[in-house]
Amino acid sequence: MTPRAHQTGRAPQAREAASPASAGPADSAELRWRLIESLQQVTVASDRYIDSAARSARVHKTDLHALNAVLDSERSGDPATASDLARRLGLSAPATTALVDRLQKQGHVERRRDATDRRRVELHTTDLARQTGSGIFRPLAMALASMAEDYSDEELRLIEGFLRRASTTIDSTTAAGATTGTAAGATPETASGATTGPAAGATTGTAGRATDGSATGAGGGAPAGG
C-alpha cells in the first residue's frame, strides 16, 4: 500500500518500504512475521498509553477494561450482566462483584433490573464513565485519526478489515486456551511457511474509542461516549 502522503511527497514517519511485486515465498513469509511483530508493537505501545493515561486519571486499568466491556454490550443492544462481565474479563464471581461495587460507588456504572425479566440485573455506564473515557482516549484518537489521513479510503478499508479479522482471531485463539507461546502448536519455523520469526504470543486488548466513536487502537480498551 502507498500512503496518500507519500503520493504528495510527504512521507509518513517510520514507514517501511513496500515489498516488490515479485517477492518470493521467503519474502512473503518474512513480511507476515514483520506484520505480526508490528501488531505486537502496537499492543505494547497501546498498553503503555493506557497505563500512563489511567494513572493520570486515577482509574485502575481493570476498571477501564470493565467499563469498555459494559459499553460494548450497551452498543450491541444486549446490556451485560455481572456474569457476562466475569466471563469477558476472566474474573471469579466474588472478584467481579467487588469490581462492579467499586465502579458503582465511583459513579461509573448502574445496576438496573431488566424490564421483562426482573431476575436479570443489567450493567449500564453513566455519563461520568463516558466523560472519563473521553478524557483518557480522545488525545490518542485524534493522533491516530491524523495519521490515518495519510492513507486513501480504499487502503483504510483494507486495514480496517485486517484489524477486525485479527481481533476475532485473537479472541478465538484465547478462547481455545492458547494465550501464551505460539498458537495451535505452530512454531515460528512452520507457521505460514516462515523459516524464521518471532512467536506470536503477545497478549492483546480491545480497542479504545473516543466519545465520537472513533477507534483509538489496539490494546487496553476503555469506555467511550455514544
pLDDT tens for 152-189 read 999 999 999 999 999 999 889 988 874 455 444 444 44
Give the confidence band of 4 by pLDDT, cuts at 50, 70, 90.
Answer: low
Angle, to 10 degrees, between the axis of helix 93-106 and the axis of helix 61-76?
90
The identity of residue 5, as a single letter, is A
Confirm if 219 and 205 have CB atoms less than 8 A apart: yes
The domain limits of the chain are 33-171+194-226
**Whether 187 contacts 114, CB under 8 Å:** no
* Alpha carbon distance 165, 129 (integer Å): 28
Distance CA 215, CA 213 (A): 6
Amino acid at 211: T
Which pLDDT score, from 0 to 100, does residue 26 have? 77
In this predicted model, what pLDDT tens digit does every residue of 10-54 receive, in sequence order?
444 444 444 445 556 778 999 999 999 999 999 999 999 988 988
d(CA 134, CA 111): 22
Cell representation of residue 92: 471469579
Grid cell in block for residue 167: 481481533
Residue 125, strand partner residues:
109
pLDDT tens digits, residue range 87-115? 989 899 999 999 999 999 999 999 999 88
- Which cell goes with 53? 493515561
In terms of CATH architecture, what is 33-171+194-226?
Orthogonal Bundle (1.10)
